[in-house]
Structure 1
C-alpha cells in the first residue's frame, strides 16, 4: 500500500521530460529535510490526516492530508479520472522509501511510462525501464547520505543550486561516489536571478544542461 499526498495531471516542467503531459503521483513521507523544499506538507505521515484515496486527487491547496492505495487502486483512479497522459511521475516526499516495483510494473503493463524523482538517499527499487531522476540532497539536516548505488542507477542528475558551493558539492559527490553521469541538469532555486545566471554560466562551462521549472513560470502545478 502506498501513502499518497496528491494525484494530478499536468505538464512536466523539469529536466529531460520538460513539456511532456504527465500524471504526478506524490507520495507521503520524507525524512531528508531540505531547507528549500516546496512540498514540506509531504514530510510527516500523521494518521490524524489520513483521508480517502479519492480526496488526494486534484487538491485545491497544499495539505498534509494523505490517502492510501494499492498499485491496482492507483491505476483504477487514473482511469476513473479519465487522464490522457501516459507518462507517470512518482515523486514526493521521498518515493524511494517505498518499493516502487509493483506500481511501476503494473503501469508499464497498461501502456504507461514511469519516472521517479528521488533524493538518492534510499535504495531505488524500480524496474529497469523506469526513468530515474536523482536530485542529490547533500548535507541536509536529516543526515542521510547520497548512495553510490543511486548515482549509478540515475538516468539523469537534477541538482538545485543557489550559490557556487552547491556546484562544488555536486562535483565532490561525483568524486566520492565514483560516478560522473553524462546527463546533468542544474536547476536554479526559486528562479532567483543570481542563481539562474550561475546555473547558465556553469552549464556552458561544463557542458551540462539547464532546468528552469517551466511549470512555475507558467503558473501551473
Structure 2
C-alpha cells in the first residue's frame, strides 16, 4: 500500500453525512480538487479548476473557514497524522470533490480501512472507479452535462447506491433511460431534490413512490451543518 501517493485536497472536515444510505453517520470528508464535468447546479464549483496559483500550505486547508478554490497536496501519511492531530472521532471517510475518481483512490481506501475506517466515494460515474473492494460507491450520474462526459456502465455496475439529483421531469426521464440503456437492475436508487424548493421535493417524493426508489433530502442543509 503506497503511503506516498499524493492527493490535491480542497477541504477536510468532520461532520455528519447528510445524504443517501449513510445519512446521519459521523464522517470525515475529504474534498478533492478538480472536476471537468460541469454540472450547472453544482454547489462546489470552487473545486473545478486546479490552478497552480491556488496551491497553499496544508495548514491553510485545515483551517479553512469559507469555501474557496485553494488546495494543498497531502500524502496518506500526512492525512493520518492530520486525523490524529485534529482529534477526529468519526470512523467513516467520505471522499468527494470535485470529481474524486480522477484520482486512484485505492491506496487511500486500503490504508484507512486497515486502520478500522470505512470509506465511501461520491462520484459522477464519468471516470473509471479505482477504489478498494470494501469501499462504498455512491454514483450520482451526471447526464448531458457541459463537459460532455458519458456516464460509464462500469461505474453504474460498481455502484452500491445510485443517487440522482432532480429538479424536473426530464431528470427522471434521463435516469430511466440510463438504467435501461445499460440494463442496470436491483440497485439501491435514491432521488434527491437539487434544491429545497417545494416543486423539486414533490417531484422526488412522487418519483420514489411510483418507482419504488428512496428519497435523499440533503439533511445537512436543513439542519445547518457543513
TM-score interval (norm. to shorter): over 0.9
Give the equivalent residue in structure 2 for 1:46: 51
User: CA-atom RMSD, angstroms?
Assistant: 0.8
Distance in 1, Cα, partners of 2:7 & 2:129: 15
Matches within 5 A, 1:1-221: 1-221=6-226
Query: Structure 1 stretches of 5 or more lacking a match?
Result: none
Distance 1:111 1:206, change over 3 A: same
DSSP 3-state at the match of 1:9: strand
Spell out structure 1 runs of 4+ moving beyond 6 A: none
User: Which digits, 9 at most, give the CA deviation of each residue in 1:89-145, with x for residues without a partner?
Assistant: 000000000000011001001110000000000000001100000000000000000
User: Which digits, 9 at most, give the CA deviation of each residue in 1:150-202, with x for residues without a partner?
Assistant: 00000000000001010000000011122134200000011110010010011
TM-score, L = length of structure 1: 0.98
DSSP 3-state at the match of 1:190: coil
TM-score, L = length of structure 2: 0.96
Distance in 2, Cα, partners of 1:166 & 1:107: 36
Shift of 1:58: 4.8
Shift of 1:72: 1.4
